[in-house]
Structure 1
Amino acid sequence: MSFPSLTIGDLVAKLPIVQGGMGVGISLSGLASAVANQGGIGVIAGAMIGMREPDIVKNPVEANVRALKNEIEKARALSPNGILGVNIMVALTTFKEMVKASIESRANIIFSGAGLPMDLPKILLATCEEKKEEFKTKLVPIISSARAASVIAKKWESKTGLLPDAFVVEGPKAGGHLGYKYEEITDPNHSLEHIVPEVVETVKALEDKKGQAIPVIAGGGIYSGEDIANIMALGASGVQMGTRFVATNECDADIKFKEAFVNAKEEDITIINSPVGMPGRALFNSFIEAVRDGKKRPVSCAFHCVSTCTQEKTPYCIAAALIAAMRGNLEKGFAFCGTNVNKIKSIVSVKELMESLQAEYDNFKAKF
Structure 2
Amino acid sequence: MDENVKKINSILVNLFNMVLKLEEKAIKESTRRDLSLTELHTLVAIGEGKAKTMSQVAASLKISVSTLTTAVNRLVKKGYAHRFRIPEDRRIVKVELTEIGIEAVREHEAFHTVMISEAISQIPEDQIGKFIDSIDNINEYLLMRKHPPARTPGPFTMKPLKLGRIFVPVPLFQGALSIGLSKSRLASAVAKEGGVGIIAASKIGYQEHDFQENPVEANKRVLRQEIKKALDLTIDCKERGPIGVNIMWSSHHCEEYVKAAVSAGAELIVCGGGIPTKLPAYCRDKKVALVPIVSSKRAANIIIRNWTKKYNRTPDGFIFQGPLAGGYLGIKESQMEAAAEDFYKNIADIKGELEDLGDCPLIVCGGIYTRSDAEKAYAYGADGFQLGTRFVTTQECDASEAFKQAYLNCREQDITIITSPEGFPGRVIENQCVPRVSKEPWRIMEGLLNASRGDLEHGLIFCGGKIHKAEKIETVADIFREFTEGACQ
Task: Name the TM-score class by shorter chain.
Answer: 0.7 to 0.9
**Which of 95, 107, 120 is the aligned partner of 2:279?**
120
- Report the 3-state secondary structure (helix = DSSP H, G, I; strand = E; otherwise coil) of the residue aligned with 1:271: strand
Superposed displacement of residue 36, structure 1: 0.5
| AA at the equivalent of 2:458 | K
Which residues of structure 2 form unaligned runs of 5+? 1-155
Pair 1:191–1:27, CA change in 2 (3 A): farther
- Report the 3-state secondary structure (helix = DSSP H, G, I; strand = E; otherwise coil) of the residue aligned with 2:273: coil
Q: 5 Å matches for 1:227-242?
A: 227-242=373-388
**What is the distance in 2 between the residues matched to 1:2 and 1:36?**
19
Tell me the residue number matched to 1:101.
Answer: 260
What CA RMSD, in Å, does the superposition of the two structures yield over aligned residues? 1.8
| AA at the equivalent of 2:448 | L
**What is the distance in 1 between the residues matched to 2:339 and 2:266?**
36
**Which of 217, 221, 242 is the aligned partner of 2:367?**
221
| AA at the equivalent of 2:321 | E
Superposed displacement of residue 12, structure 1: 2.3
Alpha-carbon contact 2:228-2:265 (below 8 Å) kept: no
Work out whether 1:347 is the aligned partner of 2:468: no
Superposed displacement of residue 7, structure 1: 2.1
Tell me the residue number matched to 1:261.
Answer: 407
Tell me the residue number matched to 1:172.
Answer: 323
- Report the 3-state secondary structure (helix = DSSP H, G, I; strand = E; otherwise coil) of the residue aligned with 1:232: helix
Alpha-carbon contact 1:90-1:117 (below 8 Å) kept: yes
Superposed displacement of residue 229, structure 1: 1.4
Work out whether 1:280 is the aligned partner of 2:426: yes
Tell me the residue number matched to 1:157.
Answer: 308
Tell me the residue number matched to 1:23.
Answer: 178
Cα deviation, 1:143-172, whole Å, max 9, x if unaligned, reads: 000110110111111111111000001011
Alpha-carbon contact 1:143-1:167 (below 8 Å) kept: yes
**What is the distance in 1 between the residues matched to 2:211 and 2:360?**
37
Superposed displacement of residue 71, structure 1: 0.7
Cα deviation, 1:99-141, whole Å, max 9, x if unaligned, reads: 111111221110001011111101112xxxxxxxx55110011
Tell me the residue number matched to 2:446.
Answer: 320
**What is the distance in 1 between the residues matched to 2:441 and 2:368?**
32
- Report the 3-state secondary structure (helix = DSSP H, G, I; strand = E; otherwise coil) of the residue aligned with 1:317: helix
**Which of 56, 73, 76 is the aligned partner of 2:211?**
56
- Report the 3-state secondary structure (helix = DSSP H, G, I; strand = E; otherwise coil) of the residue aligned with 1:168: strand
| AA at the equivalent of 1:92 | S
TM-score (norm 1): 0.85
Alpha-carbon contact 1:14-1:39 (below 8 Å) kept: yes
Alpha-carbon contact 1:172-1:190 (below 8 Å) kept: no
**Which of 288, 293, 297 is the aligned partner of 1:142?**
293
Work out whether 1:86 is the aligned partner of 2:212: no
Alpha-carbon contact 1:48-1:319 (below 8 Å) kept: no
Alpha-carbon contact 2:210-2:218 (below 8 Å) kept: yes
Cα deviation, 1:33-90, whole Å, max 9, x if unaligned, reads: 1000011101000000111121112222211111110010111111124311100001
Cα deviation, 1:9-30, whole Å, max 9, x if unaligned, reads: 2322221111001111111111
Which residues of structure 1 form unaligned runs of 5+? 126-133, 295-313
Work out whether 1:252 is the aligned partner of 2:398: yes
Superposed displacement of residue 190, structure 1: 5.9
Percent sequence identity is 40
**What is the distance in 2 between the residues matched to 1:3 and 1:270?**
33
Work out whether 1:67 is the aligned partner of 2:222: yes
Cα deviation, 1:229-248, whole Å, max 9, x if unaligned, reads: 11111111101110000000
- Which has the higher Rg, Structure 1 or Structure 2? 2
**What is the distance in 2 between the residues matched to 1:30 and 1:329?**
22
TM-score (norm 2): 0.65
Pair 1:35–1:323, CA change in 2 (3 A): same
Superposed displacement of residue 189, structure 1: 6.7
Pair 1:315–1:170, CA change in 2 (3 A): closer
Alpha-carbon contact 1:42-1:85 (below 8 Å) kept: yes
- Report the 3-state secondary structure (helix = DSSP H, G, I; strand = E; otherwise coil) of the residue aligned with 2:276: coil
Q: 5 Å matches for 1:271-310?
A: 271-292=417-438, 294=439
The structure in which a higher percent of residues are helix is: 2
Q: Which has the higher contact order (CA 8 A, sep 6+)?
A: 1
Superposed displacement of residue 356, structure 1: 2.3
**What is the distance in 2 between the residues matched to 1:105 and 1:196?**
33
Superposed displacement of residue 351, structure 1: 0.8
Alpha-carbon contact 2:181-2:399 (below 8 Å) kept: yes
Pair 1:221–1:189, CA change in 2 (3 A): closer
User: Which structure 1 residue ranges, 4+ long, deviate > 4 Å from structure 2?
Assistant: none
Alpha-carbon contact 2:371-2:483 (below 8 Å) kept: yes
Tell me the residue number matched to 1:298.
Answer: none
Alpha-carbon contact 2:420-2:441 (below 8 Å) kept: no
**What is the distance in 1 between the residues matched to 2:452 and 2:460?**
9
